[in-house]
Structure formats: structure tokens, C-alpha cells
């Protein structure tokens, strides 16, 4: 058990949401049952405190408390919930590691348990890239992910801030953000982001919007204000298609090839499965009646 006052914040906060219903529920659960899952921390060396030799805090009366300082590796929300719940001591697992090891532990625990968004992961990847001179390939190997997985999250972190914030808050997906970042004109990209948030969009739709914006901008007269968006304030309607089976109108993005809506496709797959089961039964019955069996 460690005193909560001895635990410093982590190198990076993977999740900074310390409000809302889920956090209040966590606080209430800790008030009732205590902290069931220990925090992960590492011991800080004395040098990290940066005190002068004659600092009165080094006095014998306080040396025990002030010498023992720890930095949180995993459990930022749980630590803050414990503080709000009034706990003075919390269960902890102390890991012996360095800064790079801390980041790797933070990332692994959050990847497998807390499921952070792409921006939270990208911030850790960016720190590993900048502070430890790692490459996307070496980061991917360390965290057991593909290189494209790492690069896509780095691209969002280093990309336009408004797109990064939309991903962080869950307003757009990572694939939509990647498509938006292909738009190099700030005003056009912000307008397209508004459309993607308000009306919903797939990455394919946004890719088409970006291409159309580039075409419009290419034909602007030299006298036009280049800082203004060429994208209309009204969001483009969702492209619709017709199911070849039921003739229903559905968003084009959910049609399969050939043009079949999800409902008809599901019924068709069930019919095929039933037909395959009957065929197997028939074959088994014929084999059982065959001579010499």
C-alpha cells in the first residue's frame, strides 16, 4: 500500500477524462469496495526530486516520507478516483523500469484493457519516436502491432489539430481522419470536417469530397479569395443505391457487389447455409444405403 500523496502523475496521460457518468460510477464503486485492481508505479530516484542538500525536507523527521516517491505507469483514472473517494492509501505494484519501459508498459496495459482512442496511442508513439529515436517499425515490433497501425496514429497526432480533436472525442473515425488529412487547404478541410461530423461519412465519401474540393479550387479565378472554402456550407447528401433483390433504397456504402442490401444478403446467406445442410444430409443418407456398407 502506498500513500496517494507519494504518487506522481505518469510521463503521459493516456486518458484524461476525469468527469462524466463513468468516472462518477468508478468513484462510487471505490467508495463502496475500495480499489480492487492495483495501480502500476515505478520508484523515482532521489535525483528526480531536485532538492538542495540543505533543504529542510531532508531532515530526519521527514526523510522516510519524502525519500519514497513514485511515478504512476498505469491507472491514472483509478488514482484520481481514489483521491476523490477520499482514500489515503492505495494498493500498488512497483515496477523496476526506465522511461522507455514505462511508456511501453503504459501502452500495453491500455491497449489490452482500457482501449484508448487513436490519439492517446499516437501521443505515446510520438514520444517513443522523438525521445528514444525509435522508428515506426521498431515501435510496431515493441507493441506487437503493424507498422501501418503505428503510422496511421502518428499521422493523426502530427496532423491538423481540429481533426485530431475530432478523433479524440470520437466524432470521426481514424479512417475518416486520414481521408480528411489529405485535404491540404485549411478552410476546405474544416468545412469537410463539419460535414463529416454533422451528417456522418465514410472514408470513401470523404476521399471523394476532398477530390471534388481540389477540382473546384483548381478552377478558381486568380481574383478569388483563396482563403475561403470552396466547399458548400450544406453537407452533400448520402449517395443512395437500389438493392437488386428487394428494390429498396439504401446508402450506397452498405451495398455489396452485386447490388444487394444487408437484409437481403443476410437472408441469401441463410438460404445458402440451409441448402448446404440439406445437401450434406442427403449425401450422408446415400452413403449409408450404399451396398457393402
- Domain of residue 69, CATH code: 3.90.1530.30
The pLDDT-based confidence of 64 (bands split at 50, 70, 90) is very low
Task: Give the Cα separation of 253 and 95 in Å (integer).
Answer: 48
| Residues 80 and 4 occupy one common structural domain | yes
Cα–Cα nearest to 97, from 121, 72, 116: 72
How far CA 243 is from CA of 204, 246, 260, 261, in Å, comes to: 20, 6, 5, 5
Q: Give percent above pLDDT 70 in the chain.
A: 75
Residue 47 domain-assigned (yes or no): yes
C-alpha gyration radius of the chain: 28
∠ at Cα 70 (62, 101), nearest 5°?
155
107 and 124 part of one domain: no
Same domain flag for 103 and 130: no
Is 222 among the domain residues? no
pLDDT of residue 110: 60
60 and 132 part of one domain:
no
What's the pTM value of the predicted model, to 2 decimals? Answer: 0.59
4 domain-assigned: yes
Domain around 187: 172-217+228-238
Mean pLDDT score, 156-174: 92
Amino acid at each position: 500500500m502506498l500513500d496517494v500523496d507519494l504518487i506522481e502523475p505518469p510521463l503521459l496521460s493516456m486518458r484524461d477524462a476525469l468527469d462524466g457518468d463513468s468516472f462518477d460510477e468508478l468513484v462510487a464503486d471505490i467508495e463502496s469496495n475500495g480499489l480492487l485492481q492495483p495501480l502500476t508505479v515505478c520508484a523515482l530516484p532521489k535525483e528526480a526530486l531536485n532538492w538542495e542538500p540543505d533543504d529542510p525536507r531532508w531532515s530526519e523527521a521527514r526523510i522516510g516520507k519524502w525519500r519514497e516517491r513514485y511515478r504512476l505507469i498505469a491507472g491514472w483514472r483509478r488514482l484520481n478516483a481514489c483521491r476523490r473517494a477520499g482514500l489515503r492509501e492505495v494498493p500498488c505494484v512497483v515496477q523496476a523500469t526506465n522511461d522507455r519501459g514505462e511508456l511501453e508498459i503504459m501502452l500495453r496495459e491500455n491497449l489490452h484493457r482500457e482501449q484508448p482512442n487513436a490519439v492517446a496511442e499516437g501521443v505515446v508513439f510520438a514520444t517513443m519516436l522523438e525521445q528514444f529515436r525509435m522508428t515506426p517499425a521498431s515501435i510496431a515490433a515493441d507493441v506487437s502491432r503493424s507498422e501501418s497501425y503505428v503510422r496511421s496514429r502518428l499521422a493523426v497526432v502530427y496532423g491538423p489539430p481540429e481533426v485530431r480533436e475530432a478523433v479524440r472525442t470520437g466524432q470521426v473515425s481514424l479512417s475518416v481522419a486520414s481521408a480528411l488529412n489529405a485535404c491540404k487547404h485549411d478552410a476546405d478541410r474544416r468545412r469537410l470536417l463539419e460535414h463529416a461530423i454533422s451528417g456522418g461519412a465514410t472514408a470513401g465519401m470523404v476521399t471523394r469530397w476532398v477530390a471534388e474540393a481540389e477540382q473546384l479550387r483548381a478552377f478558381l479565378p486568380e481574383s478569388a479569395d483563396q482563403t475561403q472554402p470552396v466547399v458548400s456550407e450544406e453537407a452533400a447528401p448520402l449517395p443512395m443505391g437500389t438493392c437488386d433483390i428487394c428494390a429498396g433504397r439504401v446508402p450506397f456504402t452498405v451495398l455489396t457487389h452485386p447490388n444487394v442490401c444487408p437484409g437481403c444478403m443476410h437472408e441469401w446467406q441463410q438460404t445458402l447455409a440451409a441448402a448446404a445442410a440439406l445437401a450434406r444430409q442427403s449425401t450422408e443418407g446415400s452413403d449409408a444405403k450404399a451396398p457393402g456398407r
